[in-house]
Amino acid sequence: MWNQLQDTENADVANSSGSGIIKGFRKYKSFIYILLIILVVFGLFISYYELNDKQVDFELDCNDLNEKCMSYKYPEFKPHRLRIVDVNTENNNIFLRSSVPLFNGIFSEDLLRKHIKTLLENSNINYDDNMPLYIISFLRNDSKEGCCYTSQRCYVKDANIVNYVILGHSEDPYDVDKKTLEKELVSLNWDTDKLLERVDDLKNKFNSMKNTIFIVHCRRGRDRTGEFVAAYRMISKKIDFDTVVKSNEEIGKGIAPLNPKPFLNSLAGNRVIIKLKWGMEYKGNLKSFDAYMNIRLTNAEEWIHGEYKGTLGEIFLRCNNILYIREDNETEKAQKEENVEK
């Protein structure tokens, strides 16, 4: 038969429970203390790396440039690493990549603009001093790059500068088997630098802002800048991985870009062969090209894998789709032989 517990019985149970808890605490006291110590150490460890890896604009003391940075060896701006990445003709925006824009240790917008003007004019692109500079810098305010970071921040005049931390990834994609590589890329486990988010943000600005020169740079204009530009070209322009890596390696080797304007001028009116990135070839007379090196052919023929597909007449080919262009010596030679026979 059910017997309702009396208050005295409840008191006994409570007392026994209380003494049990105390005994349990004494028994596991050492373990609990060790666990608490581990948690505190772990918390400090996480806080340390969170503070060091977090993108922060530290308080800058420009006096350090004349004190702590006096013996610092500044990197110099490298003109051959100033390259055009993309052009938005509708909004008149230009996207450039560069090495650190320091001149004798000083960030100079005026000197940077002179080099930009030369690059754009050689590429037959209009330049205007009134175009604002939007600079994405990968410099970090640390012991290695702090003086560069501070110089850029202290000597800036009108440019808009934002800083991103680019750390890269420890694994070489060429050392990873294809299945694992595809899995990691799909899962975005390797997107440790938030490249997708940052490239998307730049792309939105590039397509919405107007009359702006966008520049990305790190210290040497090769590794971190190369990673960001490669991501941009692969995402926005659908260019394959091997092509963007090869392009970046050429910059690292110091191979200067060829100005195509004189070369194309020499081919004007001549018979040429243009091969696109996906294999098609077009043979025709070079009628004209514009400021962005887009090409117009007349009497054009389409060839795919060496097989003639037909005559197209006058066609327009965009520069970013062209793999190479060369003079059609074979057709000219055949025409000369035909004239001799006649």
SS (H, E, C) the chain: CCCCCCHHHHHHHHHHHHHHHHHHHHHCHHHHHHHHHHHHHHHHHHHHHHHHHCCCCCCCCHHHHHCCCCCCCCCCCCHHHCEEEEEECCCCEEEEEECCCEECCEECHHHHHHHHHHHHHHCCCCCCCCCCEEEEECCCCCCCCHHHHHHHHHHCCCCEEEECCCCCCCCCHHHCCHHHHHHHHHHCCCCCCCHHHHHHHHHHHHHHCCCCEEEEECCCCCHHHHHHHHHHHHHHCCCCHHHHHHHHHHHHCCCCCCCHHHHHHHHCCCEEEEEECCCEEEEEEEEEECCCCCEEEEEEEEEECCEEEEEEEEEEECHHHEEEEEECHHHHHHHHHHHHHC
Domain match, 213 and 240 both:
yes
Domain match, 122 and 239 both:
yes
Q: Is the pLDDT of residue 274 over 80?
A: yes
In a domain, 26, yes or no: no
Looking up residue 124, the CATH number of its domain turns out to be 3.90.190.10
Domain match, 182 and 206 both:
yes
Instruction: Name, in order, each residue with C-beta under 8 angstroms of 65's C-beta and a sequence gap of 6 or more.
Output: 105, 147, 150, 151, 154
**pLDDT over 70, % of the chain:** 69
Q: Can you give the pLDDT at residue 14? A: 44
In a domain, 52, yes or no: no
In a domain, 1, yes or no: no
Give the residue, 29 or 284, on which the prediction is more confident. 284
Per residue in 135-171, pLDDT (tens digit) is 999 998 887 888 999 999 899 999 999 998 877 655 5
Domain match, 103 and 248 both:
yes
Domain match, 329 and 270 both:
yes
Domain match, 79 and 153 both:
yes
Per residue in 282-303, pLDDT (tens digit) is 999 999 988 778 899 999 999 9
Domain match, 276 and 247 both:
no
Q: How many domains does the chain have?
A: 2
Q: What is the value of pTM for the model shown? A: 0.56
Domain match, 84 and 203 both:
yes
Domain match, 296 and 316 both:
yes
In a domain, 100, yes or no: yes
In a domain, 101, yes or no: yes
Domain match, 265 and 240 both:
no
Domain match, 217 and 297 both:
no
Looking up residue 311, the CATH number of its domain turns out to be 2.30.30.100
Q: Can you give the pLDDT at residue 47? A: 52
User: Whole domain around residue 308: which residue ranges?
Assistant: 260-339
Domain match, 329 and 206 both:
no
Boundary of a domain, candidates 187, 221, 252: 252
Per residue in 37-82, pLDDT (tens digit) is 666 555 555 554 444 444 444 455 788 888 888 889 999 999 988 9
